[in-house]
Amino acid sequence: MEFSIKQGSPEKLKSGCVVVGVFDGGKLSIAAQALDKAAKHALSDVIARGDMNGKAASTLLLQKLPGVAADRVLLVGLGKAAELNNKAISEILRATFGALSGSPAKDAVLYLIDEGVGKDAAWVIKQAVFAAAEQTFRADSLKSKPSKPATLKDITFASLEKPSATLKTVLDQAAATAHGMDLAKTLGNLPGNICTPTYLAAKALALGKSHKSIKTTVLEEKDMQKLGMGSFLSVTRGSEQPAKLITLEYFGAAKTQMPIVLVGKGITFDTGGISLKPGAEMDEMKYDMCGAASVLGTLQAVAEMGLKLNVVGVIPTCENMPSGKATKPGDIVTSMSGQTIEILNTDAEGRLILCDALTYSKKFNPDTVIDIATLTGACVIALGHVASGMFSNEDKLAQELLAAGEQSHDRVWQLPLWEDYQPLLDSNFADMANIGGRAGGTITAACFLARFTKDYRWAHLDIAGTAWLSGKQKGSTGRPVPLLTQYLINRTAPK
Ligand code: BES
Ligand code: MN
Ligand code: ZN
């Protein structure tokens, strides 16, 4: 899908479809008025007959209007101007691209960034690009007869006035973000028998090949042994698939500039290990590598944008399987930090691979470290599927992530990291246990990680409720690629 932005008259731009808005009660937007005039009041006639009343997210496709260069005209209901909030705009854009992809149009010109809808043109452009990408995404490549690729290929955002250079940049960044989300979604949806740790490593190496600015390295189990990663290695013990520790280094600024490190949980399948999970919906544990997928998607987006900063991706990846060799409840392991851990539940494995990856991340002399993990079912109970859980040991970083979430509509909500929770991780036999009981399960998981991140500015994102959808709409969402890329874009802005 290609995106561009330009100035032009709605009736004159040639395309498969021109999209204009209609407000509540059938009031035409300025672009719609221009079309109406050129088409001898065809639009006002349609509205007078009652076929379109401007209700938010309603659509009506018209064909071959006289005086209009585009083959089709799509009327999109915008509702009441005063009620055009972020949520309404997202729904309108989703309906728009739903209608467009249901038509044979190969390209479309959208007049949605002027006037009413354009209160924040940058926001509309970003959400439109995400909605377009969502409509054209295909998840059925493994069916014997996959569906045809989308016919809609070119999207032009048009405006009556000359678009600013800033909006052009916003559009390019949104397109790169959408491509990063596509990568994250594709990897997330792949089954565990295809998307193994070795497969993820191959994808990371391929990213290094296709982008000169990315350098990928892959550590093997013997390397991790030497580094003393006893916690990470305890998780992979029951698996036949070799574990990998992937690093991707992106240099967009001077090598002396301290990097932002993104650490992504890459459990390619989580059975729970000896603390085996119940069978229902266990297939969804193929999504337990969505943190890793978001790191790959974000690095690809950052490289495509050519952002002027340094970013490192660190991905600990393995399976969590039961077997005669698997780690057992009660086993005690030594992490790379030297701290010992009593593994009371082998299903709390994410923190065990992350803690060693977080210790390893110190070697990059990080400015900031952010880990991203489908870490706890408790987070789904706390925040549902709307916000990702967010923790930080620095309030400024927390505020920056909250803001980036709003800007990208990929929101996070902060939970406390107070010391008061730490005693829940006490163990009689080791420095800590890997679980803290049922109460505050998302918080105690974060408290566990906090014991390994004292030397740098750090945030933890629990994406268990936001990385994928269940039921009929089952599929990866590509979150939090929009949040992470927005945060990184913001970090390049002059202070
Ligand atoms: N990958 C899961 C978390 C998860 C579960 C995400 C369900 C999304 C949906 C994680 O490894 C896990 O199993 N966590 C346990 C921790 C518990 C044993 C303390 C959980 O949440 O039940
Ligand atoms: Mn688990
Ligand atoms: Zn897990």
Where the chain has pLDDT below 50, the residues are none
179-491 CATH fold:
Aminopeptidase (3.40.630)
CATH 3.40.630.10 domain residues, the chain: 179-491
- Whether omega for the bond prior to residue 480 falls within 30 degrees of 0, making it cis, is yes
Looking at all shown ligands, the one closest to residue 316's CA atom is 3
> What predicted TM-score, i.e. pTM, was given to this entire model?
0.97
Predicted local confidence at residue 119, as pLDDT? 65
Q: Give the CA-trace dihedral at 283, 285, 289, 293, to 10 degrees.
A: 50
Q: From the CA of 441, how far away is ligand 1's center (Å)? A: 9
Q: For residue range 161-208, what is the model confidence (pLDDT) as tens digits?
A: 899 999 999 999 999 999 999 999 999 999 999 999 999 999 999 999
Cite the beta strand spans of 388-463 per DSSP E.
388-392, 412-414, 432-433, 458-462
**Tell me, what's the pLDDT at 118?**
56
Cα gap 266→374, rounded to integer Å: 9
Q: Which pLDDT does position 113 carry in this prediction?
A: 86
- Give the model's pLDDT for residue 265: 99
Give the chain's mean pLDDT: 97
CB 24 within 8 A of CB 55: yes
Q: Is the CB of 378 under 6 A from ligand 1?
A: yes
Choose among 54, 64, 62, 51: nearest CA to 27. Answer: 54
Query: What are the residues whose beta carbon lies below 5 Å from ligand 2 (ion)?
Result: 270, 347, 349
Token readout for 168 is: 């052009």
Q: Is 438 a catalytic residue?
A: no
Strands 266-270 vs 310-320: parallel, antiparallel or unpaired? parallel
**β-bridge partners, 412:** 388
How far, in Å, from the CA of 337 to the mean position of ligand 2? 22
Q: Which residue has the CA at smallest separation from atom 22 of ligand 1? A: 377
Taking the C-alpha atoms of residue 19 and residue 37, their distance in angstroms, rounded to an integer, is: 16
CATH annotation of 2-158: 3.40.220.10
Question: Where in the chain are all domains bearing CATH 3.40.220.10?
Answer: 2-158
Query: In Å, what is the CA distance from 102 to each residue of 105, 147, 300, 414?
Result: 9, 14, 30, 39
435 CA closest ligand 1 atom index: 19
Q: Is the CB of 348 under 6 A from ligand 1?
A: yes
Ligand 2 centre distance from Cα of residue 351 (Å): 9
134 CB within 6 A, ligand 1? no
Indicate whether residue 192 lines ligand 1 (CB < 6 A): no
What pLDDT does 75 receive?
A: 98
Cα(122) to centroid of ligand 1, in Å? 37
Best of 235, 344, 347 for a ligand 1 pocket test (most atoms within 8 Å of beta carbon):
347
- The torsion of the CA quartet 464, 466, 468, 473, rounded to 10 degrees, works out to 130
Phi, psi (rounded to 5 degrees) for 10: -60, -35
Let me know if 277 is a catalytic residue.
yes
